[in-house]
Structure 1
Amino acid sequence: MQARTLRIGTRGSPLALAQAYETRGRLMAAHRLPEEAFEIRTYKTTGDVIQDRPLAEVGGKGLFTKELEDALLKREIDLAVHSMKDMQTQLPEGLGIGAVLPREDVRDAFISLKYPSLDALPQGAVVGTSSLRRQAQVKRVRPDLEVVGFRGNVQTRLRKLSDGVADATLLACAGLKRLGMADRITSEIETDQMLPAVAQGAIAIEIQLDDEETARLLAPLNHEETALCVTAERAFLTRLEGSCRTPIAGLATLHGDTLHFRGMTFSIDGAECFEIKLEAPAGDAETLGLSAADALLQRGAHAHLGRAS
C-alpha cells in the first residue's frame, strides 16, 4: 500500500517530537505500516533560535512553522506536524491542513513549587510567562502580581522555576500530558478563569495541496469535532488579525450539533477586556468565528488590536 518512505517534518523539541511520534503511530495503526515506512526529520525554527527576547518583538505567529513550511514547499518532507496554535491563520500558497488530531486538554496549567493555585499566590508574587494572553489574564484577575518573561521549552521553563526565577508559571496542560509530565501540574485553571489560546491542545498536520497520496493517508486521522472547533477559533483570529503581539483568546466546544464559542481580547495589562459568547450549527463553524470577531470589533475591540475604528 505504501511504497515510498513518508517523511515527517517537526521541530526538535521534546514536545514537538512527541507530537510527531503520535502522528506516526496513528498512521501506522490506520494503515498497518511498520515504523520503517517513516522518516522523521527535525528542523530548527526561528522561534527556537531566538531566546533572548519576547517573540512579540520579533514578528508574531509563524516563527515556529516557517522552516517546516519551507521544507514542505521544497518537497524535502511530505508532511509537517505543528502545534496548531503556532500556525499562521493564512498558510503559504500551495499548503493546507491535511488532518487535525483529537484535541488534548485545552486548559492552562498552573505550576508552582510553593503554592497550590493562582488564587493562593501571595501579593507581589512573581509569575513567569512568555504569553501576552496569559499575562493579560493573570493581571486581570490578580493585578497585584508581577509578571516576568519566561522563554524556552517545557523543560527549560520548569528548570527556571526550580532556580527561583519565579514563584509560578503557566503552561498548556496538553503539552505536559503529551510529554507524560501531567504530574508536574500543580492545578488546572478552568477556562472560565483563563480562556485558552486559539487552537490550544490541537495538533495540525500540514501538507502540499497537490499531494493526493499523503492527503489520502491522512484522511482517517482527521478528528471532525476538533476540526470544527479550531475552524471557528481560527476564523475568529483571522478576522481580528491576531498575532503574538495581541492578547486574544478563543474556545469553541461542540454540544450535539451546536458549536458554542467564547472569545476575548485584552489590553496588555489586562485592565480592559471585550468578551463575546455565540453559538451556531456545527456546519457554520467559520461563520461563527467571523461573526464573533465582528461583534467584538463593533464593541470597540479594535482598541486592543492597533486598528482604526
Structure 2
Amino acid sequence: MKKLVIATRSSKLALWQSEYIKAQLNEHYPEIEVELKTFSTKADKILDVPLAKIGGKGLFTKELEIALLNKEADIAVHSLKDVPVEFEDGFVLAALSKRFDPRDALLSEKYANIKELPTGAIVGTTSLRRRLEIKLLRPDIVLKDLRGNINTRIAKLKAGEYDAIILAATGVQKLKIEDEVKYFVPISTDDMIPSMGQATLGIETLNDPKLVELLSVLHDKNAEIESTIERDFVRTLEGGCQVPIGVKATILDENSVDVRAIVGMPDGSEYIQEDIVADIEEYKTIGQTLAQTFIDQGAKELLEKAEKVAFA
C-alpha cells in the first residue's frame, strides 16, 4: 500500500485526533503517504437541537462510513464514545488507541469546583449522562443545553451564558486550551462515571484483513480490555450513545479490573449504580454479566423512561 486516506470530521478536535493517528502511522510506515479527508456528519450540521432529540445511531460516524464504502477513504478515526456498539455488516473496529484522560471536567470563569457553585447555578451540558450525575452531586443546579464544538462551548461560557460547563477533559487537553478559562478542573471518575470508551480513539475500516493487519501497530491491549467491558455493558442494556449510562472499566493490576456503572433518569430522581472488581481474564463477559444485574434491577425500564423524557 502506497497511500492511506483517513476520513475525519472537520472540527479541531477531530482533526487533532486524525493527525495523531497519521503521525503514528508515519512512524511505523514511513513509506506510506497518509492523507486526511474531511467530511461533515449529521451531528455537525444540526447544532440547535440536543443530540438525544436528533436520535438514531451513528450521529458522528455514518457519513465517514459512507466514505469508506465509496472508497473515498481507507480508515475513519472516531472518538470511541460516539461509535455505536453494533457495526453494520462489512465494517470492523480495526484498532483502539491508548486511552487518554477519561474524566469529565468542569470549566468555569468564577468557580473552582462543583461544590463552590452557588445554589441555582446554571451549568451547560447536553449529555443525559452528565445531567444525571450532576443532579446526583448537586440537585439544586439548573441545567441548560450546550451544543457546538469545544471552542464554541467555551466562548458561550466566557460570554456569561453559564456559570460552568462540563466537557470531556481529554478534548480540552488535546487542543491545549486549558488556560482559556480561569478554572479547568477534571472531575474524579468516583464522582462522575464517564461514558463508554471516553478518551479512546477507534479506527474503523471495511473488513479487509490486510488493512486490519497493517493497523494492528496502533492497537492498545489495555484499551481493548476496558472498552470491551464498557461497550458490552451498553450493548446488553441496548442503550445507544445518547442515553444516561455511565460505565468505566479501570485495570487495577495484571489480575483485576474495577468496573463502575450507573444508569438513571436525567434529573437524578431514579438511578441504579454498582462498583465491582472482577478477574481481568474474564473481560469478554464482565460487561454482559454486570449489565444483567442492572437489568434484574429494572435498568431497561428505567432507560425507556429516560428516553421518553429526553425525546419529549
TM-score by length of 2: 0.93
Matches within 5 A, 1:1-309: 2-3=1-2, 5-33=3-31, 37-183=33-179, 184=181, 186-209=184-207, 211-255=208-252, 256-306=254-304
The 1:106–1:123 alpha-carbon spacing in structure 2 relative to 1, beyond 3 Å, is same
Shift of 1:162: 0.9
Q: Is the 8 A contact 2:84 2:241 kept in 1?
A: no
Distance 2:92 2:11 in 1: 23
Which amino acid is 1:222 matched to? H
Q: Is the 8 A contact 1:106 1:200 kept in 2?
A: yes
Instruction: Show CA shifts across 1:55-90 (max 9, x none).
Output: 111114410000001111222210000000001000
Shift of 1:260: 1.8
Three-state SS of the structure 2 residue aligned to 1:186 is strand
Bigger shift: 131-140 or 185-194? 185-194
Long gaps (5+) in structure 1:
none
Q: Is the 8 A contact 1:132 1:244 kept in 2?
A: no
Distance 1:119 1:265 in 2: 23
Q: Is the 8 A contact 1:104 1:201 kept in 2?
A: yes
Which amino acid is 2:233 matched to? F
Three-state SS of the structure 2 residue aligned to 1:25 is helix
Distance 1:70 1:176 in 2: 29
Distance 1:60 1:144 in 2: 31
- Equivalenced residue count is 302
Three-state SS of the structure 2 residue aligned to 1:197 is coil
The share of aligned pairs that are identical, in percent, is 38
Three-state SS of the structure 1 residue aligned to 2:60 is coil
Query: Which contiguous aligned blocks of 4+ residues in structure 1 show a shift greater than 6 angstroms?
Result: none
Instruction: Show CA shifts across 1:126-175 (max 9, x none).
Output: 00001111111111111111000000010000000011111100001111
Three-state SS of the structure 1 residue aligned to 2:8 is strand
Q: Is the 8 A contact 2:178 2:184 kept in 1?
A: no
Which amino acid is 1:150 matched to? L
The 1:11–1:245 alpha-carbon spacing in structure 2 relative to 1, beyond 3 Å, is closer
Q: Is the 8 A contact 2:127 2:242 kept in 1?
A: no
Three-state SS of the structure 2 residue aligned to 1:274 is strand
The 1:7–1:157 alpha-carbon spacing in structure 2 relative to 1, beyond 3 Å, is same
Instruction: Show CA shifts across 1:192-250 (max 9, x none).
Output: 111101110000000111x2332122111100001110010000000111124520000
Which amino acid is 2:97 matched to? L
RMSD of the TM alignment (CA)? 1.4
Which amino acid is 1:219 matched to? S
